[in-house]
Amino acid sequence: MNPQEMAEAMEKIRNNVKSIKHKILVMSGKGGVGKSTVAVNLALALADEGFRTGLMDIDLHGPNVARMVGLKKQPEVIENQIFPPEVLPNLKVISISSFVEDDAPVVWRGPMKTTAIYQFLGDVAWGELDFLIIDSPPGTGDEPLTALQTLSDIMALVVTTPQAVAVQDVKRAINLVKTMHRTPLGIVENMSYMKCPNCGEVIKLFGEGGGKDLENLFDIPLLGSLPFDPALVGFSDIGKSIVTHMRGSELEAAYRETVKEIVQRVKL
Ligand code: ADP
């Protein structure tokens, strides 16, 4: 993109996202900590609580969001605008997986990824939203960087597990957010513990203290600690979510609590 095209793209994005109140980038230092699961279920929980929500999957090499929300509908393209399908009355979803063939590797390099993200932000008819939840790949690569650079009011939600190695990588993600003068919204610790289904004993599968350590180190609030629940694995594979299919579980309650914290913190 030449400077003129770039300026036009930025202007288009500014206009297109101006009716979105809160943009939240879900980041993690490491893969496998449950970042996409957290992004998807927070979006579903927000929508379920009545907030107009958008969910945007920019994990371009491993887009799992569509499967996790059970998205079957395709976006519609009308006169250069992309209309995102709704999986719930309050939840619009856009994922790169709608634009590439199933199982095909996404072999894009930096500039193509950046262009795709500009399109998701500039060409998708999001309309008026309370929240846009953006699921980015783990680490500090092109995708989270582009989102942070492009949206000046974006806030970062960082997902970690309690384990020291996960925490170490998350520090890089938080430092990127700070270096770019963006707002760290908070930390979510996933897989904090598991309750034995037989005796109820609390098992710390991945150690403890990671989220608290980050909270203390960076002075960023720990917004939620989510338990490990083996039932989730089967559900997310077939597009059933925690808030809709695990009602009454400790995991669902922890998600609802986390949403409450988020809503309070952004002061809607
Ligand atoms: P990431 O996006 O960080 O790579 P995913 O969201 O794909 O991670 O999650 C990795 C795996 O962990 C998935 O199989 C998911 O179902 C599972 N998972 C995530 N959170 C939990 C949890 N709280 N309890 C049980 N399994 C979980």
Q: For the chain, which domains are there?
A: 3-266 (3.40.50.300)
Q: Is 34 in the pocket of ligand 1 (CB under 6 A)?
A: yes
- Whole-number Å distance, alpha carbon 234 to ligand 1 midpoint, is 11
User: Which of these, 126, 129, 145, lies nearest to 137 by C-alpha position?
Assistant: 145
Ligand 1 atom 20, closest CA: 34
Residue 110 predicted with pLDDT over 90? no
Confidence bin at 104 (pLDDT 50/70/90): low
State residue 107's pLDDT score.
Answer: 62
pLDDT digits (tens, 9 = 90+) for 156-175: 999 999 987 778 889 999 99
Q: How confident is the model at residue 108 (pLDDT cuts 50, 70, 90)?
A: low
Ligand 1 centroid distance, CA of 259 (Å): 18
- 81 confidence band (pLDDT: 50, 70, 90): very high
Residue count of the chain, please give it: 268
pLDDT in tens, 189-208: 999 999 988 898 999 988 88
Q: How far is CA 49 from CA 4, 44, 68, 212, in A?
A: 42, 9, 19, 27
Average pLDDT of span 123-136? 96
Distances (CA, A) of 247 to 45, 88, 213, 226: 11, 17, 30, 15
Residue 94, classed as helix, strand or coil, is strand
Question: pLDDT value at position 247?
Answer: 87
Across all residues in the chain, what is the average pLDDT? 90
Ligand 1 centre to CA of 57 (Å) is 16
pLDDT band at 106 (very low <50, low <70, confident <90, very high): low
Residue whose CA is at the smallest distance from ligand 1 atom 16: 233
How much is the pLDDT for 192?
Answer: 95
Q: Please work out whether the CB of residue 209 comes within 6 Å of at least one atom of ligand 1.
A: no
pLDDT classification of 69: cutoffs 50, 70, 90: confident
Instruction: Give mean pLDDT, residues 228-246.
Output: 83
What number does the ligand 1 atom closest to the CA of 28 have? Answer: 3
Atom 12, ligand 1: which residue's CA is nearest?
34
